[in-house]
Structure 1
Amino acid sequence: MVDKIVEISRTTAAPENLSIDTLTSDDTMENSEKLVAINQPSTDQDNGKPNNLKKSRKREKKYKPKFIHGNYNRYYGYRNKPGSGEEDIRLLSFKREWFNSKDVLDVGCNVGHVTMTIAKRFLPKRMVGLDIDSNLISTARKNIKYYIDAKKENYVDVSESENVVHVPCSANGESSPINSSMFNDASVSFPENLSFKQGNYVLNNSKQLSLVQEEFDTILALSVTKWIHLNNGDAGIKMFFQRIFRHLRPGGRLILEPQPWTSYKKRKNLTLTIQNNFQNINLKPEQFQRYLLDVVGFSKCELIDVVHHKSKGFRRPIQMYTKC
């Protein structure tokens, strides 16, 4: 199944939506596709060859997207062997009771493989996949059909509705609902329980935290903290954790897979903003647990697993924080 999944072309497609919810700084523009401007070629009067066209093509080949938010278009190809049909090994550590008949949010869902597997296997009442990259969300929506059984072949995708998700507050402080009305039936089945939404989960300022309502029973943040931290600094990662806590209902769970500090160093020079944030980070990943328990307010932390991935870089602890 995995080898059939739709992949994204990163060379020509412009971002579908550059709303304030998606772009929080000028540097975020680097996350979008930069189209190489090819001017009308000038003709060499001596030989008639289009010189400008050749130069433009050369520049286009040299350009490589930086993926400054970790929004790799082939991320699951890195984690799982392409064409092998292997599912994400992290799923083996997840328990049905964390998701079944619950409202679940997956922050940084990429093209949605983990999101869709949870929605189909564990049957949450509502499963929302959120990512900052519009191209990844577009691909996730297209990938739904590869997870649908034959009996669901007439499924109509509703995830592109404007009011599908209660996510990031806009600059004017108004929240944009994660529409729960379409998921009122507790017995809803896959894929009717699934939607994808583009948005930046990090709020614009701490004042907007007061607008966040208890809405989810489980929130996943798998391998996203490094990118939030590098792009938004200590203030951003703290606001990220605080928003999750406010978004969870009593008894709710945060399933967290933080990247180690050593992996930050490999990406510290992607942009000037990231360089500056990296130099000023005081809250290191090994301090997240103490911050989440002592400051944010989670009552306990449990180690779910340290995934034994074939690649050493993906052998990261998965933790579960519970809100009392």
Structure 2
Amino acid sequence: MAQVEHLETMWEEEKKDNNCKGEEQNPVRTNKRKHKEVAIFGNYRNYYGYRIGFDEDPRLKAMKKEWFEGKNCLDIGCNSGAVTIAIAQKFCCRSILGIDIDSDRVEDSYWHLEKVLRAQKRLLKTSKQADSKRLNGLEGHLAESLNGRTRDDSEESHASGRRDLSDIVSFKKANFIRNWYPPENMHFDTIICLSVSKWVQLNWGDEGLITLFVKAWRLLQPGGMFILEPQPWSSYNKNRLVSETARSNYQNIKIYPEDFQDILLDKIGFRRVEDITSNASGQKSGFQRPIFAFWK
């Protein structure tokens, strides 16, 4: 696989209007054109903000709790960590690691995690205060009985191993394609890869895509799942000029999204696939992409 030593941004700042040269300009009335964000790896800031807004990510509807509950999971290309954290909260996984090539997005992920943890603590405090007021209003003997039951429930919850979200979710800056491997030969039960495959091909070509698939297969436990959301080929054209590397790789792509299933089943070694797209209802226009679950 060709080594990408330097990826330079191809967009230069817009030149000032030559017609204004030599003329006195009023700084108050001068409007500078706001440039579109260029993310050569798809590492957009606020990606989930304009994809899902403040609602739950519709793609979570396509996923089942048993695919994650009590399992070790990996999120490839986690961006700001919104889906990673939501999976940990909703599906009670044993652990989930989100990796992203951009250190700024990893920093955003940890910020997002801290925000969720603060919200949880406020909710817990409010709940305890409400319980305390309710108990104080009951008759003495009933209050004692309920207090005892509450202590028992608390002890049982602690004994059952309920953990803080920060003990379940973690993030790491890493290039999954080129040089990342989990510590101590760790394997995963479920790996998700949502809207990442296009950026892999634009930056590392077809060979990078095969590396993604092979590596995901090798990192999965027997019977493990690989959840893939590929972008449509039409979207590649829109991003082919984000870098010189992307432009060159785009021209040489021979593996198209409609070929992914056959490659994963016939070449990589996954034994079956399920199209779970229909369950992910409510996606915004422009983000209505297929989602597949592959089993090792």
Please confirm whether the aligned pair reaches a TM-score higher than 0.5, indicating the same fold: yes
Q: Matched residue of 2:276: which SS?
A: strand
Are the counterparts in 2 of residues 255 and 320 from structure 1 also a CA contact under 8 Å? yes
Q: Residue 80 of structure 1 corresponds to which residue in structure 2?
A: 52
Are the counterparts in 2 of residues 202 and 240 from structure 1 also a CA contact under 8 Å? yes
Q: Note closer, same or farther for the CA distance 1:213–1:245 as it changes in structure 2 (3 Å cut).
A: farther
Q: Residue 173 of structure 1 corresponds to which residue in structure 2?
A: none
Question: Are 1:101 and 2:101 matched, yes or no?
Answer: no
Q: Residue 133 of structure 1 corresponds to which residue in structure 2?
A: 102
Question: Are 1:244 and 2:220 matched, yes or no?
Answer: no
Distance (Å, rounded) in 2 between the aligned partners of 1:259 and 1:121: 25
Moved over 6 A (4+): 151-154
Q: Note closer, same or farther for the CA distance 1:280–1:296 as it changes in structure 2 (3 Å cut).
A: same
Partner amino acid for 1:97? E
Q: Residue 48 of structure 1 corresponds to which residue in structure 2?
A: none
Please, which runs of 5 or more residues in structure 1 have no aligned partner?
Answer: 1-22, 35-53, 155-184
1:169-184 matches, within 5 Å, as: none
Q: Residue 273 of structure 1 corresponds to which residue in structure 2?
A: 245
Q: Deviations over 1:40-78 (max 9, x none)?
A: xxxxxxxxxxxxxx9xxx99x766541011111011122
Partner amino acid for 1:90? R
Q: Note closer, same or farther for the CA distance 1:62–1:151 as it changes in structure 2 (3 Å cut).
A: closer
Distance (Å, rounded) in 2 between the aligned partners of 1:94 and 1:63: 37
Partner amino acid for 1:121? K
Higher helix share: 2
Are the counterparts in 2 of residues 124 and 193 from structure 1 also a CA contact under 8 Å? yes
Aligned residues: 242
Q: 1:317 aligns with which of 266, 287, 290?
A: 290
Q: Deviations over 1:287-307 (max 9, x none)?
A: 000000011000001111243
Question: Are 1:70 and 2:42 matched, yes or no?
Answer: yes
Cα RMSD between the aligned structures?
A: 3.1
Distance (Å, rounded) in 1 between the aligned partners of 2:204 and 2:228: 18
Q: Matched residue of 1:266: which SS?
A: helix
Q: 2:188 aligns with which of 213, 216, 223?
A: 216
Greater relative contact order (CA < 8 Å, ≥ 6 in sequence): 2
Partner amino acid for 1:110? N
Q: Deviations over 1:72-129 (max 9, x none)?
A: 1011122123xxx311111112111111111000011111111111112212111101
Distance (Å, rounded) in 1 between the aligned partners of 2:188 and 2:123: 27
Distance (Å, rounded) in 2 between the aligned partners of 1:143 and 1:296: 35
Instruction: With the length of structure 2 as denominator, give the TM-score of the two structures.
Output: 0.73
Distance (Å, rounded) in 2 between the aligned partners of 1:318 and 1:212: 30
Q: Residue 39 of structure 1 corresponds to which residue in structure 2?
A: none
Question: Are 1:150 and 2:121 matched, yes or no?
Answer: yes
The structure having more radius of gyration, on CA atoms, is 2
Q: Deviations over 1:269-319 (max 9, x none)?
A: 111111110011001010000000011000001111243445332111110
Q: Deviations over 1:252-275 (max 9, x none)?
A: 100100001011111111111111
Q: Note closer, same or farther for the CA distance 1:214–1:275 as it changes in structure 2 (3 Å cut).
A: same
Question: Are 1:26 and 2:6 matched, yes or no?
Answer: yes
Q: Deviations over 1:15-62 (max 9, x none)?
A: xxxxxxxx95301x649xx9xxxxxxxxxxxxxxxxxxx9xxx99x76
Please, which runs of 5 or more residues in structure 2 have no aligned partner?
Answer: 13-26, 126-159
- The farther-off stretch of 289-298 and 143-152 is 143-152
Q: 2:86 aligns with which of 90, 93, 117?
A: 117
Instruction: With the length of structure 1 as denominator, give the TM-score of the two structures.
Output: 0.67
